[in-house]
Structures are given as structure tokens and as C-alpha cells.
């Protein structure tokens, strides 16, 4: 495995919203930059390079999509291919890539890029949703609801394995935290593939500290062995209003920060993505500021 330091960071923007059902999240990378993400990371002593945004094509026409009908395939595939290339280059250069979304369809590209370097990896997926629908089962046609399934190889016609390393994650080392909105196919996939899933009921029952410890033991195989995927809709909308698919009853501010702080202490992360910040729906950039704080907690920021 390539040695890397968590103190050397590459920021990679992916301004895409055509994988989602609502527009505006393509502005997320700039909202995070406006929240002084780079400056705050540098204040922690990190060597930060903002690599700018990867290329995301414009759609040439409206695609309605729908049940069993993925939409904007060409746009999302190209954006994910460019993301994979950028993430791979960052890791091979010894950096810790932080991918800034953009909708969660970009996870297919981010995971493909990391998998080119480390192979099938551990994954800690913090999200209200599992994003495990297939092209046949999708109820909406939105590819952000299929990103993890695609990363496991469930959409080879859309994401060719020759370009998108699959499976990019090890299902037995995949842990969900904060789930509260699942489709039936997603429940079946979680059970059949032996994935570990902690719902918000589990957070309530056992507490975040216990669940993160379990996640680290399951997903991690020593330092720099897992990817962290954080969809901001994991956090309750009272703290993170600027997101397109909010679900009531999410993580609190402190639960989310505790998760990031414990992951930082464990050292298991080798890369991260932060998705679904939509400044059009936000309140004075509050969600981007929260997201910036969570990234900083993962990179070592502490209260004392």
C-alpha cells in the first residue's frame, strides 16, 4: 500500500446535481470553499491543495427518468470517471483526497479511484439512505440512489468494470450509520451481502460511541484502510437544512462530530467524500459551515 499522511490533503470538487432529483447541489463545492474549508484545515497544520473541480458535462436535453429508468447516465458516468482519475492521482501522490459534492452519485467515481490503488476496501457510509438501488429497481431514476450498488458492480452497463474497478468495496467490511429511509431492494441487499447496518434506532439504543467503535472494528484493517462517505442528510435537518432529500430524525450536531472525532483517533480513513450540500436550500450557508466543521473533525480538530 502507498504510504500517505492524513496531514497532506487534496480537495477535489465535483459540481454535479443531475444524479439527484433537485437542482442546486452542484454549488456545494463552492459553498464549502466559501465556508473557509481550506483555511480551517491549514489552521490545523495540514498541507492543503485545492485541486479545483473535475469536469462535469452539461446535459443536452431534459431526461425525465422514473421507475426502473436511470437518467443522465452519460453526464454522471463522465463525472464519475473524472472523479476516479482525480482521486487515484491524489492517492498515488501520497495525499488524503477529500471529495466535495455535488450529489452522492459521485461516490461511484470516488470509490473507483480509491479501489484502483487499494483494491476492495472498508467503507463507513454515514447517510440517511443506503443508495443500493439498481438500475432496474430505482423508484426515481436518480443515480445518486444507486451509487453504492454501482460501486459494488450492480450496474456494469452504466459503469463498465474496465474503467470503474468493481467491487470497489468489501461488503463484509461495509458499515452503514444513521439509516432511516430504505427501499425493499436495499434491505435485501444489506442482508444477502452481509453488510453491517446501524439505523437511527441503533444510534438511539446504543449511542454513537459504541456504533463507531463497532464500525472501526468491522471496516478497518489497520491504519488507512477505509473510505469515509458522509452524506450531509445523515444529520437532522434542524442542523443541516441545505440538502435535497432530508429525512426527519437524523444525527444531532454532537453525534456527527463525535463520529468524525473517533474516526480521526482511529486512523482508519484513507479518503473521504462529503456530499449533498445544497446552498440553494440552505440558511446563510449553515449546512456548508457544519460540513466544514465535520471534515475538520475527521482531520484532527479537537475541543481541547
CA 4/CA 98 separation, integer angstroms: 14
- The confidence score (pLDDT) of residue 7 equals 82
Question: What is the per-residue pLDDT across 73-120, written as a single tens digit (0 to 9) for each?
Answer: 999 999 999 999 999 999 999 999 999 999 999 999 999 999 999 999
Strand order in the sheet with 121-126: 47-53, 8-14, 96-101, 269-275, 226-231, 121-126, 169-179, 196-199
Buried b (16+ CB within 10 A) or exposed e, 110-141: bbbbbbbbbebbbbbbbbbbbbbbbbebbebb
pLDDT number for residue 148: 98
Domains and CATH numbers, the chain: 8-298 (3.40.800.10)
- State the pLDDT at residue 303: 83
- Bond before 167 cis per omega within 30 degrees: yes
Q: Which residues does 201 contact at the CB level (< 8 Å), separation at least 6?
A: none
Which residue ranges in the chain fall short of pLDDT 50? 1-5
Q: Give pLDDT, residue 2.
A: 38
CA 68 to each of CA 104, 140, 250: distance values in angstroms, whole numbers, following the listed order? 19, 7, 28
In this prediction, residue 288 carries a pLDDT of 98
243 phi/psi in degrees, rounded to 5: -150, 155
Q: What is the pLDDT of residues 282-294, one digit of tens each?
A: 999 999 999 999 9
Per-residue model confidence (pLDDT) at position 29 = 98
Give me the active site residues, please: 104, 127, 129, 131, 144, 231, 233, 276
CA 16 to CA 176: how far, in whole Å? 24
Q: What is the pLDDT of residue 236?
A: 98
Q: Which three cell numbers stand for residue 161?
A: 468494470
- Give the pLDDT of residue 81: 98
The model's pTM is 0.96
Amino acid at each position: 500500500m502507498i504510504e500517505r499522511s492524513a496531514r497532506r490533503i487534496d480537495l477535489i470538487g465535483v459540481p454535479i446535481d443531475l444524479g439527484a432529483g433537485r437542482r442546486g447541489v452542484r454549488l456545494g463545492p463552492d459553498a464549502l470553499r466559501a465556508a473557509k474549508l481550506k483555511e480551517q484545515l491549514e489552521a490545523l497544520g495540514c498541507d492543503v491543495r485545492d485541486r479545483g473541480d473535475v469536469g462535469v458535462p452539461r446535459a443536452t436535453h431534459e431526461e425525465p427518468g422514473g421507475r426502473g429508468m436511470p437518467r443522465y447516465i452519460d453526464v454522471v458516468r463522465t463525472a464519475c470517471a473524472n472523479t476516479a482519475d482525480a482521486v487515484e492521482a491524489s492517492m498515488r501522490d501520497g495525499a488524503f483526497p477529500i471529495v466535495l459534492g455535488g450529489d452522492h452519485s459521485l461516490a461511484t467515481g470516488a470509490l473507483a479511484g480509491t479501489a484502483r490503488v487499494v483494491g476492495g476496501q472498508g467503507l463507513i457510509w454515514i447517510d440517511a439512505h443506503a443508495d443500493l438501488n439498481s438500475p432496474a429497481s430505482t423508484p426515481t431514476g436518480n443515480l445518486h440512489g444507486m451509487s453504492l450498488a454501482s460501486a459494488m458492480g450492480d450496474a456494469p452497463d452504466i459503469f463498465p468494470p474496465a474503467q470503474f474497478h468493481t467491487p470497489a468495496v468489501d461488503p463484509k467490511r461495509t458499515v452503514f450509520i444513521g439509516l432511516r429511509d430504505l427501499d425493499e431492494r436495499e434491505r435485501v441487499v444489506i442482508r444477502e451481502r452481509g453488510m453491517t447496518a446501524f439505523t437511527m434506532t441503533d444510534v438511539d439504543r446504543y449511542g454513537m460511541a459504541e456504533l463507531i467503535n463497532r464500525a472501526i472494528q468491522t471496516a478497518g484493517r489497520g491504519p488507512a484502510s477505509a473510505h469515509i462517505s458522509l452524506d450531509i442528510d445523515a444529520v437532522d435537518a434542524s442542523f443541516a437544512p441545505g440538502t435535497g432529500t432530508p429525512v426527519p430524525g437524523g444525527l444531532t450536531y454532537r453525534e456527527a462530530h463525535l463520529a468524525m472525532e473517533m474516526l480521526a483517533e482511529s486512523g482508519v480513513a484513507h479518503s473521504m467524500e462529503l456530499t449533498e450540500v445544497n446552498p440553494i436550500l440552505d440558511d446563510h450557508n449553515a449546512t456548508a459551515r457544519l460540513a466544514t466543521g465535520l471534515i475538520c473533525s475527521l482531520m484532527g480538530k479537537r475541543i481541547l
